[in-house]
Structures are given as C-alpha cells and as structure tokens.
Copies of this chain bind each other. A is one copy, B any other.
C-alpha cells in the first residue's frame, strides 16, 4: 500500500495525506483522524527510501569496526554497539554496521557510506593523533562522533575514558603494595589512549620518585598475543618488573597465561592490573583486577551526541572525559608481598 492508493481510498490528495500523517497544521483535525484510521486499517507504512530521497536524509548512522582485531568478536565493540542501539531505539534512525579489514579499507568504507549518503553520520573508536578519518570527515563536513579524543584543530564530538587516570592510579596502587619495578604492556602507540596511559604512568613515577623505567614499557597489539609477547620481553630484563599494568584486559589475560606457563604465580610473584573490565575479566584465573570503562553507556551517549550534530548542533562543547573506576579482584596481589 503506497501513499497514492491510500489517498485515492480516502478521496484526498497525496499531499494532504502526507501532511496529515506528518503533523502539519493545515489539515483539519477531522480529516487527520480519518487519515490515521485509514492508514492503520490498510497497514500503510511510508517507504523509507522515498522519504529519504526527498528529504535528503539517510536516517541511519554508521559504525565502523576497526582493524586489526576488528570483528564483532571484540568485546569492546560489542558493548559500544549495544549502547548505540539503545540510544537509537525510538528514533527513526537505523544502525548500519561494517567491519573494515585494514586502514585503507576503513577510509574507503567511510567514503562509500558517506558518498552514497547511506548514513547521516558516523561513530568510530580508537582514535589516533592526526587521525585520517577525522581529517576526512571534517573536510567533508560529515557529522561524526568518536570514542576517544584526538588533536584535530576543529572541535568535534567525542567521549573519552581518561586513560591518564588508569596509568597513574595503577602505578600508585602497585607502588603502594611495595613494587618499585612496574612494567607497562601498552596498547599500540599510535592510539591516542595508549599515549594517555603512558602519560599517567610516567607522571606517577615522577611524583612518587620511582627509578628510571623506560625499559619497562613495551607496546604492540590489543590481543592476548601482545600480552604473552610483552611478558617475554619484560622478563628478559636484567632487573625484571614485579608488577604489570596492561593496556586492556585481553593483554592482561595473555600476560597472565604466559606468566603461569613460565612457572610464576600471578599476584604473588607478579601483580597484574588490566583495563576495561570486559566480561571475561571475572572468569580469568585469577580473576582480573582492572579499571572499568563504561563503554556501553559511552556508546549510548555517543549516539545522542551524534544525533545532536546531525540536527545541526555545533560540535563545540560536545566533549566529555569520563573517569575509569578500579574493580579489585585477585590479580593485583592485594596488600600482599612483592617477590
């Protein structure tokens, strides 16, 4: 059933029916009522495609899952998507999801999504310094919002978990347990939040007067393998660390695996702290002490910010820094004894 048939059925013009349905005020209340009843009766549902063509809106927002881990399997993106979908419920907006293979592919997909006007705006995560995605979208004037800030000139909408706090508080806590050599297995250095984590880590070392520590920092991937590799690198040092801060939970889990393979007892021999509080964190052995990042809530709020930008709001002021919160479990040695 299309608009024309419905109008014919009612003995009205398509314009009147359309305006009745869309709540314009130049249609008599009685007529509007008739229209709504007929629409209900015939199960009329406006063609989204036609409406979007005419009104030049896609009524959809796109989310790009980024390499390398990309995939839906990445628990971070899961939470983010859930939050975004929550925010979109009740709006006419749809959620369009696509996973990029590599960085080139990612830009290509953005171009396609925006060029073909498939989406009104985009959300993506894991921002970098001089992020090419941000540059592209700002140049095109496309609305977007990101999980993580960047250093772009122009303001844009973002939410960021303060990873400086993660780095800093983790060091303070571990130092409080007596550790002097605290390793950091960080996420890839090009990521903005990786940089922040390192900053916090450094600051705490400075403030607490801990010894030099450049050799105690390694970075690489986002996955278990990165954790395993980091452990091998750090334990090869002449004076290896007695505690490890990991850039995310998967790294931490990989690190704990490897420590155990090498005959060390997590928490007792080497303390471990993660970041993100993924569901897995409570199932690892030992259960992981980690910083909770409210990613789902962030996704919800990001979608809200993006909708505002799409409505024409200036991105000025649409930035928020959120504080992570420590979840204490068993992997950080509690008030226990360092090696």
Instruction: List the interface of chain A (C-beta within 8 A of B).
Output: 43, 45-50, 52-53, 58, 60, 71-73, 78-79, 81-82, 85, 89, 94-99, 101, 111-112, 115-118, 253, 279-280, 283-285
Contacts and interface: CB of A to CB of B under 8 A. Distances in A.
Given A48-B118, A72-B81, 18 more contacts: A45-B111, A45-B115, A48-B117, A49-B58, A50-B53, A72-B72, A72-B79, A72-B85, A73-B79, A85-B97, A85-B98, A89-B101, A95-B98, A280-B283, A283-B283, A283-B284, A283-B285, A285-B285
Contacts of A50: 53
Contacts of A284: 283
Interface centre among A43, A49, A89, A99, by most B CB within 10 Å?
Answer: A49
Contact of A115 (B43, B85, B253): B43
A121 B99 CA distance: 20
Copy number in the complex reads: 2
A101 B89 CA distance: 10
A116 B88 CA distance: 17
B43 A53 contact: no
A58 to B, nearest CB: 7
A125 B323 CA distance: 37
Contact of A117 (B49, B98, B99, B283): B49
Contacts of A285: 283, 285
27 contacts: A45-B115, A46-B116, A47-B116, A48-B116, A48-B117, A49-B49, A49-B58, A49-B117, A49-B118, A71-B82, A72-B81, A72-B82, A72-B85, A73-B78, A73-B82, A73-B279, A78-B78, A81-B97, A85-B97, A85-B98, A85-B99, A95-B96, A95-B98, A97-B97, A280-B280, A283-B283, A285-B285
Nearest to A94: B96
A44 to B, nearest CB: 8
Contacts of A78: 72-73, 78
A132 to B, nearest CB: 16
A112 B49 CA distance: 13
A301 B78 CA distance: 22
Contacts of A117: 47-49
A50 B112 CA distance: 15
A254 to B, nearest CB: 11
A98 to B, nearest CB: 7
Contacts of A94: 96, 98, 118
A169 B72 CA distance: 31
Nearest to A55: B49
Nearest to A56: B49
Contacts of A89: 101
A285 B45 CA distance: 51
Contacts of A118: 48-49, 94
